[in-house]
A and B are shown apart, each in its own frame.
Chain A
Amino acid sequence: MAEKIFTRNFERASSHTLAVYRETGGYTALAKSFQMEPAAITEEVKRSNLRGLGGAAFPTGMKWSFIPKGGTAPKYLVINADEGEPGTFKDRYLLERDPHALIEGMIIAARAIDSHLGFVYIRGEYVQPWRVFSGAVKEAYEAALLGKNIQGSGFDFDIVVHRGAGAYICGEETGLLSSLEGKKGWPKIKPPFPAVKGAFGHPTIVNNVETIAAVPHIINRGAAWFAGLGTKTQGGTRLYSVSGHVVKPGVVEAPVSVTLRSLIYDHCGGIRGGHRLKAVVPGGSSAPILTAGEIDVSMDADGLKAAGTMIGSAGVIVMDETVSIPEALMVVARFYAHESCGQCTPCRESTGWIYKMTHRIVEGKGRKEDLDTILDVAKRGAGTTICAFYDGAVGPYVSYIEKFRGEFEALIPHEA
């Protein structure tokens, strides 16, 4: 059984408290990091092969290095705790069961990028996680782990906990920044990129909760150790959120090289109630679907990319043979239509249009042109939008129809 890193505290009583966090070595990485130069911290994270664990899998150390060095402009560290990708719930567990891991990781990351003000943007629906995390921040301030001259290091860092108000698009990093600034969660046109011009017009790094929670471990046990746990291009273990028709849904920690088959059958007890696996969404709803015959795939960023899908948020949704794929697509299409921010034309118009078509098909009123229209509209819109939200919608639009076309066609009335 692989070593537990992210989940090591999850089952401990009062794991969210500073006292318990310290019992398992909490905040020792912080002390160690104060002996390191900021550039060395970034180097260590680079060599660990840590990739963003929120959805885009961008190399974390490389992202940090995009912050311009020097200059008088303030730099901000923003944590994306707007977990919203369907099938994903791991950040919720981290916020509720190991909030200090995020705080410790934030302070270390902040030093690396020369930030003295961090924001943690928590989705509005996460009330309990917000309360627990806010409590941990308060404890940290009281223990002089936050604020001025942390642990006598001379380094100042403040954390502002900020609640969202209900919009999936605020999980997109620049949509999050717009929302943080007190506006609608409209993603920003790029360039400029956040590292150059982000929150409030200043250089900003946006990282996922889990990504930053990995940092203390990397500092404590070294980049080589972390890198060695994974594949050649992605280091470490990560948290997989497994749900749907499995016997034991929940958060599973495993090395990034774990296979999808192993996750489903070894870690989650296989398919419930004697049913058969039909399909799996491997990386949150935006990831192209895999058939039952495609689960011998490594659940790391590059492995899934090679399989024509993506790791995304590592939200694994398992479907058995009772599932109607057309209905599942309608549910997913409804989600994208509801969450489209509306800023740019291709996404705004086609998410609504495609939902109407999938709904019509499920109601038995589909037309024979509909499937090809959906595919064509989706492919025409891909790559034309301000942000990747629409590309995330295209994942299911195209893969569900292309891999299960017969099931859709069976719902479309034949002409007399």
Chain B
Amino acid sequence: MPDAKRPEFTPEQIAEVRRLQGLYPDKQAALLPVLTMAQETFGYVSLEVEEYVASLFQMSPAHVHEVVTFYTLYFQQPKGRHVVSVCHNLSCHLLGAKSIVEHLTRRLGVEVGETTADGRVTLLTVECLCACEQAPMMQVDDRYEGQLTPEKVDRILEGLR
């Protein structure tokens, strides 16, 4: 059972790490893809995961921590089973992003940046996802959902277990 506090890749995963490292002239280039892989495996990027990944790259943990804290897609704390990221940049703002965010905080009972008590949903606001033609829109896990209305938002939330 992958454990973010005691992280270890399977032999197949290690082979994949080495394969990724071999794609580039410098193996450090595989750091972001491997961190993404680690997050998918262990649920989030804990400090233990950072040190583990650092050892796979013979890098100082401080430099892995730099990367993890720089990019927004790495979660340093456990996240919900689903991540809902609402865009609040210009076009979405023009088309009512603020009220969509308010609707979500009411429906989910959390503030932006928090996870529901049952661990189902983490709610975030993010910068431009480059789907402005569908504004207001949000990213739900891997997919974009646009032309949002409160009703559409409710239907989407219902589908999240």
Taking the complex as a whole, does A directly touch B, i.e. does some CB pair lie under 8 Å apart?
yes
Which residues from chain A sit less than 8 Å from chain B, CB to CB?
A: 74, 83-89, 91-92, 117, 123-128, 160, 162-168, 179-185, 199-200, 202, 241-245, 249-251, 281, 285, 315, 317, 319, 323, 327-328, 331-332, 334-335, 338-339, 341
**A164-B32, A168-B127 are known contacts. Are A281 and B71 too (CB-CB below 8 A)?**
no
Q: What is the distance, in angstroms, from A90's C-beta to the closest C-beta of chain B?
A: 9
Which residues of B107-161 are within 8 A (CB) of A? 126-135, 139, 142-144
- Residue in chain A with minimal CB distance to B85: A125
Question: Which single member of A83, A180, A244, A250 contacts B130 (CB below 8 Å)?
Answer: A83
Task: Report how many residues on chain B are interfacial, defined by Cβ distance under 8 Å.
Answer: 43
Which residues of B35-77 are within 8 A (CB) of A? 35-36, 57, 63, 66-67, 70-74
Q: Is B31 an interface residue (CB 8 A)?
A: yes
Which residues from chain B sit less than 8 Å from chain A, CB to CB?
A: 23-26, 28-33, 35-36, 57, 63, 66-67, 70-74, 85, 88-91, 93-95, 126-135, 139, 142-144
Question: Which single member of B33, B127, B134 contacts A162 (CB below 8 Å)?
Answer: B33
Residue contact B24 to A160, C-beta cutoff 8 Å: yes
In the complex, 25 of the A-B residue pairs with CB atoms within 8 angstroms, ordered by the A residue number, are A84-B128, A86-B128, A87-B91, A88-B130, A91-B130, A124-B36, A124-B73, A127-B142, A163-B33, A167-B71, A180-B29, A183-B66, A184-B70, A199-B25, A200-B24, A243-B132, A244-B91, A245-B94, A245-B95, A250-B133, A315-B132, A317-B91, A328-B90, A335-B89, A339-B127
- Residue in chain A with minimal CB distance to B128: A86
Residue contact B128 to A179, C-beta cutoff 8 Å: no
Chain A residues with CB under 8 Å of B57's CB are 182
Residue contact A89 to B131, C-beta cutoff 8 Å: yes
**A92-B130, A249-B132, A249-B135 are known contacts. Are A124 and B71 too (CB-CB below 8 A)?**
yes
Chain A residues with CB under 8 Å of B67's CB are 165, 182-184
> Bound complex: CA of A39 vs CA of B80, how far in Å?
54
Which of A89, A163, A339 gathers most chain B CB within 10 Å?
A89
Residue contact A128 to B24, C-beta cutoff 8 Å: no
Question: Which single member of A200, A317, A334 contacts B94 (CB below 8 Å)?
Answer: A317
Residue contact A244 to B73, C-beta cutoff 8 Å: no
Chain A residues with CB under 8 Å of B25's CB are 74, 117, 199-200, 202
Chain B residues with CB under 8 Å of A84's CB are 127-128, 130
Question: Which single member of B33, B70, B129 contacts A167 (CB below 8 Å)?
Answer: B70
Chain B residues with CB under 8 Å of A319's CB are 94
Question: Which single member of A86, A179, A202 contacts B90 (CB below 8 Å)?
Answer: A86
Q: What is the distance, in angstroms, from B92's C-beta to the closest C-beta of chain A?
A: 9
> Bound complex: CA of A323 vs CA of B72, how far in Å?
29
Residue contact A338 to B127, C-beta cutoff 8 Å: yes
- Residue in chain B with minimal CB distance to A131: B142
Q: What is the distance, in angstroms, from B79's C-beta to the closest C-beta of chain A?
A: 14
